[in-house]
Each structure stands twice: as C-alpha cells, then as structure tokens.
Amino acid sequence: MSPFKNKFLRNVATLQFGGAMSAGLAFVSSVGLAHVLGARDQGLWVVSLQLYAFAFFLINLGMVQVAITQVAAASARGLKDKVADWLAFVAKAYLLFGVFLVVSGWFVLPHVVDLWHAYNPTVDVRVARWAWMLSFAPLLDVPRAVAVTALQGTRRMVALTQLENATELTRTFLVIAGAVITRSPFGAVLGQLMATFVGSVLGVALYRRSHGDGSYPLPGVRAIAHNVRHVPFRMGLRLALRFGIMRQLDALGSKIAPPLIIQTFGTPEWVAYFRIAQGIMNVPLMLMQGISRTALPAMAELKGLKMDARFERVYWRATLFGGGLITAGLLLCLPVVRVLVWKMFPSDYHEPIWELSLILALALTLVAFSIAFDSFYLGTNALRAGIAINLLSFFVSVPLMAYLAHRIPTTGAAWGYVGIGCWMFVHNAYILWHFRHARRGAT
C-alpha cells in the first residue's frame, strides 16, 4: 500500500473517532436540554439556532472549504506565502461577513419574526433576539476557522480532531449549564457564544503547536494577521461564491429549512423532536464526515499533481465504500435508537422521535452516497453543473417539504427530506458522465 493510501486511511480513522465523540456529545446535549427545558423551550432554542444559521448561510460563501483546497495545493508545493494568503483570506471574510450579519440582523430579524408570529402564534417573538445574539458567533469564531482551514488543508487530522472535540465538549457543558442557570433558551444562547470564544482560544493554541511539528509548513500567526489587511478579498471570492451557492443550497434544504418549516406549520415541540431524531440518525453520517474531510485536501493534491485517473478512482472508492458503510450503520442504528430514546428522554419524546427516525433513516441512506461531492466539484472546476443541480433540487424539494408539512404538521417535513435525498442520484449520474467524457477527450 502506498504512503498516500496509508496516510489517507489514518486520517479517515482519526476523523471517524473524532466524529463519533462529537456525535456522542451532541446526544448528551440534547438529552440534557430535554430534561432541563422541556420540549417547547428546547424547540425554541432550535428555532433560534436555525434562524441564525439561515441568516449566516445566506452570506457564508463557502470560504473555508475553498481555502482548504487552496491551502492543500499550496502546501504540497511548499508555497508557504500562498498558504498565509489563503488563511488571511478566511480571517478577512469571517470578519467582514460577521460585522454585516450583526448589523443587518439587528434591523431585519425582528420584522421577520413578527410576520412569522402573525402567521403562527406558537412562534415566540423572543427568538429574534436570541438569533441576533448568536450572530456574534462568526466574529468570535475567526481564529478557530483559520485554524480548522490550516489543519485540515495540511492534513493534520489529529490536531483538527482535538480542536473540534474540545470545542464540542465545551459547548455541551456551557449550553446545558446556561439552560440550568436561566431555565430558558437564553442561557443556552449565552453558553453557545462562550463555547465559540473558547474554541477560538483552543484553535490558536493548537495552531501554534502545529506550526513547528515538522509536517507541511505553516506560516506564523503574525504573518497571517499582517496579511489580513493586505490580502485582496476578491482573491477567492469568485470561486467561493460559486461553491458557496452550491453547498448553501444543499445545507438550507437539508439542515436549516426543515425545523423552520415545521415551526411555520406546527409547534416548537415537533421542532425539538425532529432535531433530536435528525441528530441521532446522523451518527452513522459521522463516518462520511471522516472520509469526505480527508478526501477534500487529498483529492486537491491529486488534481494539483495532474493525476486525473487516480482522482477518479479515489472519488468512486470514497463514494461507494463510504455510502455502503453508512447504510450499514443506519440499519444497525435503528434498534439502538428505540432503546436509547426510551431510557434517556422524557416520555412525551418517545413516539415522535421514533416515528421521525424511521423516516429519516430512509432519507439518509440516499444522502450517504454524496460523500465526495465537494472534492469532485472543486477539483474538476465543474461548479456550474453542481449549482444547476442544487438549484433545481432546492426549488423542487423545499416547496414539496413545505406542502407536506402543511398537510402533515408532525412528520411532513421528514417525508420531504426523503425527496432531497433522491437528488443524490442526479449528482452521481452527472459525475459519471463527466468522468467518461474526460477519458474520451484524453484519448
């Protein structure tokens, strides 16, 4: 086995372990909030978080993912100055968009929530204030975002896993502690912001430690800070814009829209049930996270070295192996879900979470085979095709989800999520065509 494959598998295993730990901590957080806040207030916490996420995703252009590919390509060629430029680009983008989010959120969010409340009185108008408070998170998150970009781009996966697990552990503790102290989602919001700040402190510490570890060269913190002022923002904006539209449409449809749609036609309680069921059933997808996050910089290196045939092999191996592994994990997960939910959650959570978990298992089986989309579209510069497919998916699937939620306020959004999963076949059909067309052009 080649050194490349050995390193790839070691990195996958590291991120798998880290992903499993993060999933466990997220489960602990959901259980704790269920007992401290109850279904209604836990649902309002989720609505606040997703409302902020919706605003953030509208302006987040996928800067980190794009920068990771560029850092990977530059570090493989020993271009330390280029790495510093791309890390400075991430810091500058987060600062600019963070300020914009705070200012615009102050004026826009209250009006949006007032209109929402007028349609459905179960929408608590306090979620506007809580979502605005959360909009300070990108500003607090700048150092951690830079550290994640550097560590993943140079495949320092042990340090990356340490950073993410430590941040998630801090978040779990502080969110639950805040809820216990205030007996309100307000405390959870404060805990989330404090954990974001702690994550940035940890990010700087781990970056400094990785700077001199003898692996790919990393620029010093001062060099990055100096470049923030001078690096042109347009440097990565065009690529980030195209990639961001593709990924944000996917995230809006699969992660952010369902809780907001459920709240629009249903109640905060069912928002909480959906979020918990989605979190539990996403545990097998943590397997996909380890493979996809390792594939992104690894495949970027292969493209940078013009190894197109190997690029294609790595894509299909990651897709088929990862998808099959996740599908098996979902099937094994279902019997465990019922036992865990009945033992860990209050009784009013039991049947709703179980019903939603069964539906989401079908949807996530389809999503499992989207494991290396980012690596393909960025590596082949085929973002226009990815955007076109995701635009079509978004404007078909989200209205369908809303219609089903209107007809079935409890589980309709989950059934709409199954429709989103079906679009994975369209993406892979295009990718198969692309590879065949490229091979014919090379002969």
When pLDDT is averaged across residues 369-376 and rounded to a whole number, the result is: 78
| Contact between residue 34 and residue 348 where contact means Cβ atoms under 8 Å apart | no
- CA separation for the pair 232, 236 (Å, rounded): 8
- Please report which confidence band the pLDDT of residue 328 belongs to, taking 50, 70 and 90 as the band edges: confident
By mean pLDDT, which of 95-99, 350-354, 366-370, 395-399 is the weakest? 366-370
Model pLDDT for residues 68-89, shown as the tens digit of each residue = 878 887 887 777 888 889 899 9
pLDDT of residue 4: 44
> Letter for the amino acid at 45?
W
Nearest one of 432, 423, 425, 422 to 315, comparing CA atoms: 432
Lowest mean pLDDT among 55-69, 186-200, 275-289, 382-396: 55-69
pLDDT reported for residue 106 = 95
Q: Could you tell me how many residues make up the chain?
A: 443
pLDDT tens across 217-234, in order? 788 888 898 888 888 877
Per-residue tokens: 355: 């019903």
Nearest to 415 by CA among 359, 355, 377: 359
Which range has the worst mean pLDDT, 40-49, 116-125, 243-252?
A: 243-252
Q: d(Cα 83, Cα 68) in Å, to the nearest integer?
A: 10
- Split at pLDDT 50, 70, 90, the class of 254 is confident
pLDDT tens per residue, range 84-119: 898 999 999 899 989 999 999 999 999 999 999 999
Residue 403 has pLDDT above 90, yes or no: yes
Residue 82 CA, distance from chain mean position: 26
Q: What percent of the chain has pLDDT over 70?
A: 85
The single residue listed with the structure tokens 């095709």 is 385
Prediction pTM value: 0.84
- 3-state SS, 122-168, equals CCCCHHHHHHHHHCCHHHHCHHHHHHHHHHHHCCCHHHHHHHHHHHH
- Structure confidence at residue 201 as a pLDDT band (50, 70, 90): very high
Which helix (H) or strand (E) segment holds residue 9: the answer is: helix 3-59
CA distance 358 to 30: 19
Helix-strand-coil percent breakdown of the chain, rounded to 5? 90, 0, 10
